[in-house]
């Protein structure tokens, strides 16, 4: 059995959770997740990312609908919407900044997922949603793109890990 420190444990055992208990999350736990989001790397440390925390039932229902009716989203007590700020790093990085903004935001998403797991919370990275609808629901300005919805709650299931592709995706030295 491979020995694992806490970081590797979280990487190994975090799963996408699609069934949540009816239990609120404390304000301090939400702060832990937002801090984890802040601590992710970003291009030039410009942090071209923004987070909308949706807790109201109506808001969560609307997001579930915008996410192509993935109804489990509304069962989570909060949904964190990670967004890319498409202009923050543009002056420094020009055309490359669009890609960086997406990476800044998604690096934060991964931190949120792992931090949540480490404090007993479950999450699911939701990428399937109508971008225009989400932007309109959340009043996002033109230069802010939603990149992932992250429902967060106490897990009410313990899925096993879906299989990975393994060595098929490893290319040493060259393709």
Ligand X SMILES: Cc1cc2nc3c(=O)[nH]c(=O)nc-3n(C[C@H](O)[C@H](O)[C@H](O)COP(=O)(O)O)c2cc1C
**Binding-site ranges for ligand X (CB under 6 A):** 15-16, 18, 70, 124-128, 159, 161-162
Nearer to ligand X, 141 or 161 (CB): 161
Smallest gap, in angstroms, from Cβ of residue 90 to ligand X?
A: 24
CB of 110 to ligand X, least distance (A): 9
Least distance between ligand X and beta carbon 49 (Å) = 15
d(CA 156, CA 148): 22
Number of Cβ within a 10 Å radius of residue 127:
11
Nearer Cβ to ligand X (95/128) = 128
Distance separating alpha carbons of residues 39 and 14, to the nearest angstrom: 19
Kindly state the smallest distance separating residue 128's Cβ from ligand X, in Å: 3
CB of 58 or CB of 71, closer to ligand X: 71
Sign of the CA dihedral with 110 first, then 116, 119, and 121 last: negative
Residue among 119 and 161 whose Cβ is closer to ligand X: 161
Which residue from 31, 25, 41, 16 is spatially nearest to 114, judged by alpha carbons?
16
- Which residue has the closest beta carbon to ligand X? 127
The dihedral region occupied by 99, where left means phi > 0, alpha psi between -120 and 50, and beta the remainder, is: alpha
């Amino acid at each position: 059995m491979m020995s694992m420190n806490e970081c590797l444990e979280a990487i190994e055992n975090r799963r996408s959770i699609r069934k949540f208990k009816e239990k609120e999350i404390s304000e301090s736990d939400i702060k832990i997740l937002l801090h984890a989001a802040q601590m992710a790397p970003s291009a030039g440390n410009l942090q071209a990312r923004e987070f909308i925390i949706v807790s109201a039932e109506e808001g969560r229902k609307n997001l579930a609908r915008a996410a192509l009716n993935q109804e489990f989203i509304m069962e989570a007590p909060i949904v964190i919407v990670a967004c890319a700020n498409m202009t923050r790093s543009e002056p420094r990085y020009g055309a490359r900044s669009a890609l960086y903004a997406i990476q800044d935001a998604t690096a934060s998403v991964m931190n949120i997922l792992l931090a949540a797991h480490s404090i007993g919370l479950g999450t699911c990275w939701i990428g399937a949603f109508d971008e225009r609808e989400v932007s309109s629901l959340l009043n996002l300005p033109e230069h802010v793109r939603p990149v992932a919805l992250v429902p967060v709650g106490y897990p009410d299931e313990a899925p096993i890990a879906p299989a990975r592709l393994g060595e098929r995706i490893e290319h040493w030295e060259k393709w």
